Structure 1
Amino acid sequence: MSAPAVTAEAVPRRILPVIVLAQFAGTSLWFAVNAVMPDLQQAWGLPATAVGTLTSAVQLGFVAGTLVFALLLVADRFAPARVFLVCSLLGALANAAILLADGSVGVLLALRFVVGFLLAGIYPVGMKIAALWYRGRLGAVLGVLIGALVLGTALPHGLRALAASGAIGQLPWQAVVLAVSALAALGGIATWLLVPPRDPVAGAARITPRALVLIWSDRKLRASVFGYFGHMWELYAFIVLVPLIVASRLAGSAAVSAAAFWAIAAGFAGCIGGGLAARRFGSARVAQLQLATSCACCLVSPLMLSAPLPLFFGWLLLWGATVAGDSPQFSTLTAQNAPHQVVGSVLTFSNCIGFAISVVSIQLFVAAAQAWPLAAVLPWLAAGPLLGLWMMRPLLRA
């Protein structure tokens, strides 16, 4: 039996830390396999392109899950904390089941798809829980939540770095996978136990295809959504390629994993810093600056790959901070520019299209990185940000 709904305006101090930590824990499932991919390739003889294929399976699962959860109004028919708990527990089990795959690519793909599907009940539902509690300052909270997602994405690399370095003992890759699963399960349990139900703002609106027409026909909405699409072309391909980029300069699994962790985790600082800057300069200008900076990082990559190590790592940290830091601002812009009655539909469809774009870019860039030097491949990541910056012009003029 769930706890009684809390209707008082005062928000208990524990609520935001619990939601943020649970989001961090749950989303660590996203790239759990990527962090141990070198171990899986050695143990099971997986091809070099497996990292792209398995990541794309997660992305496609997330697209499917987002649509199913939205169309069935799952987080509105059931308590969001209960949905978060169930998806966290099932996602943890699906992630841990990797240990039983025994090198079968088909089984791995199915499990990663299931994890992606269940992440649709973790990441968006976590934001819905936050929206119910922090209606008046959701913009700032959104930056922290997406920052937690970025940290969760980086976490498996950090765990592998600790295991490989011996800092937590000589742990096998299986222990890293199980640790991520345990953390995700704990995040779901903490949300269920420590975040009581909150009264919804109003009845949920059904997803309507009219939002797809508005995304293209409404000038300002089109500008924010297509800016987001350009961002998605770059973001997840960068996350997948980070270990390859680092390995071009460092040797040893501990060093590579540690550097990959910091490069991805830098996005947390980008999300928080962008949220603070948006309060003064507005989301459109902050998103433009961060998108332009990550675009520049793509374009100068041929020079940075052979630069002195301090400059190389500075470039990688700046890229990691800005490639993810504009995510909260694009979500804010899309929500602000969409008509109130179809905000949910617009966000659902734009997220699904954005993640579908990431599947294409992941597949293209992983395959290209196997065929050509990184210096010839990475600058093409700038194609998405350049298109996004061009499409954002109406927002900046406004």
Structure 2
Amino acid sequence: MSRSNDAGHFFQTTSALNESARKASKSQNTKGNPIKLPSKILAVLADPENASQIYIAEAAGNVKKINIETDDILSTFSGPTAPLTSLAVSPATSTLYAGSWDKSIWSWSLRTRKPALRFAAHTDFVKALLALRIHDTHLLVSGSADASIIVWDASTGEKLHTLKGHTRGVLHLALDPETYPPDADVNVVTVFSAGSDREIRRWSVGREAAGEIQGADGVPAPVVAHETSVFAACFDGAGDLWSASADKTARCLARARGFEADTELVHPDFVRGVVVDEVGGWVVTACRDEEVRVWEKGSGELHHLFEGHYEEVTGIVLLEGQRVVSVSIDGTVRRWSLKAAELAKAIKEAEDERAGKIQEVEAGEKQEGLMTVEEEAELAELMEDSD
């Protein structure tokens, strides 16, 4: 055990103290041009109306709208006292939604920033949200740790449908773009749900009816491609689904093969988020080990690792212009570029930094091996005596 007069060190192991010291030291870095906030950040969402703005959900119960080019906090939406876990925005109604640990969904007018309808029917944390429009009906879809999905009339707060199939919590919802093309005249859409039961399920969702999509034999056919919880999923330009899991992998699930896994990206810890940059051919993942990784989409090879966060990365979003924004429990928002020149520069800087650290270690080891003039004289005298 380490000894200290600091009361904060009582009952802590040496390894725990070393870890605290490491994080304190790493917190001073400016990689990714961090925007520092006072609370843990649990979710991030791109502003659908402005490519330079994002929304973040805080453990303190606030949602903040941030301009990532100016670092300005443009708006703060408050009211909840419990942590917020998930976000959705409806541009058509200018409404912001946030799922909360208090088992409800909060909403605000984007124009006035005042609280609007509050949706309450779940019996556990709300973990995932989707806002969508079918004809003139605005729907809100929510997934919860209570293992249920609820479809709401977003305009009235009326609960329309409750969907059950997962045996454990629902962690993420993704809208299938093939059933929801821009300006499409559709009556139903397909929503994919990912859960802590390791399953990904598919649902047909509309105002009048909703239910799980059946397989060829007439029974639900969940996609099972991971060993444990699936935290996030997103579709790429080809319509394939990329998933991020607590089994320490991100995987590409090929639509043409019934969403069978055909690419596996192995990580050292839980994978919390995944996005796909079609312009550069990159897959970017967020990991519990504090890092953001860039992978070659075609080969599945690791191309670069963005270091900067000093706590678990809880979410990432891809913005126009090949920009990635990551958020973390460390309370920072960080920005990374996937443009060829800037990515090459980041790789070179990382290599130079690693080389510098190696040189420092080697210099330290060499210095430890040197003797003072007095020590050399004493050694020579001892050797003469031994003769």
**Length-normalised TM-score, structure 2:** 0.26
**Length-normalised TM-score, structure 1:** 0.25
Larger proportion of helix? 1
Larger proportion of strand? 2
Bigger RCO of structures 1 and 2 (CA < 8 A, at least 6 apart) = 1
